[in-house]
Amino acid sequence: MLYQLLIVATLGGVRVIAPKQLTTASLIWTALTIFNLFWPPLIALQLIVIWTAYAIFKPGESASKQNAQPSSPPAAPAAPVKAAAAQSNTQAKSASAPAAMPGKSIFMPETIDPAVSLRPAAPPSTAGLVHQFAEFIETEEAAQRAASPLAQACGIEQMYIKYSLERASRHLKLERELASRGEEFRQQYRKNYDRVLGVLKEHNSEREVEHPASPFVCISLAQRPTDPNPSIDAVIQRKVNSAVDRHAQYLEELVLTLKKPRLKAIFEKEMVDGGYGEILKRFQRFEAGLD
């Protein structure tokens, strides 16, 4: 909610400071929403907030009418003698001066050479902007649908790695704590632990045997999604490359974390026991520079 309030406040500030840039600011917020968010309901909510605020803050036609200066009253007709003299002088000047183009001064380049024009090009129509924006939205949505499975698979792998790393860290901490208490305390702890574990096994044996969950299967990062439309395919590859780069950066940080003594061996055991052997193999290939 705070992020949506920030959007409304930003558009309100642009409306006050630079009203002509309100459309540009709305398009920028729209692009940030599509690029940074992955959950479709949140994307739709944020787009509604952006363009509702745009509709509220958009300058109306009344402001431009109020800023228009009133035209000066027509001058009183000149005397007949003076009007005739002015008309004769005007005709004499027009005969010697070059003909001016309607609505242009004789000092403008267009008057001298009609092929030369210093006037700015007409701005694109509202219908054209809406069409371009609709094409942009369709391209982003198609690319998001194609790239989401791979990006989500990377996120799931990181979740399982974090879970196994936390268990390995607790195990290592316990080992160090027992070692600091002495061998007698460690043997007593192990005896009590085995006793409790035996009771739990007897209790679980009375229940129906549950089949273990199937091992996690990694998605292939080499088989990337594509699209026959070049513009959509370019966006897909950009999103996929971003997700893979973030995953590689996470694995690089994991390599540094596992340099602690004994932590890597315990982590690998937790990964295998948890059924994440395929993820562990991918990490080992990455660590060896093969993936």
pLDDT at 212: 44
pLDDT at 97: 47
- Greater confidence (175 vs 115) lies with 175
pLDDT at 49: 84
User: What are the Cα distances from residue 61, in Å, to 15, 26, 266?
Assistant: 15, 20, 70
- pLDDT 10s digits, 5-30: 878 888 888 888 888 888 888 888 88
- pLDDT 10s digits, 236-283: 999 999 999 999 999 999 999 999 888 999 999 999 988 889 999 989
Distance CA(270)–CA(221), nearest Å, equals 24
pLDDT at 194: 82
Same domain for 154 and 268: yes
Asked whether residue 227 is assigned to any structural domain, the reply reads yes
pLDDT at 161: 94
Is this prediction's pTM over 0.85? no
Question: Rounded mean pLDDT of the chain?
Answer: 77
Looking at the structure of the chain, the number of domains it has is 2
Same domain for 146 and 48: no
pLDDT band at 121 (very low <50, low <70, confident <90, very high): low
Same domain for 281 and 147: yes
Same domain for 176 and 282: yes
Asked whether residue 119 is assigned to any structural domain, the reply reads no
Which of 44-58, 190-204, 218-232, 257-271 is the most confident on average?
257-271
From 29, 59, 89, the end of a domain falls on 59
Per-residue pLDDT for 188 more than 90?
A: no
Q: Which of 262, 261, 246, 258 is nearest to 284 (CA)?
A: 258
Domain that holds residue 54: 2-59
Asked whether residue 222 is assigned to any structural domain, the reply reads yes
Per-residue pLDDT for 131 more than 90?
A: no
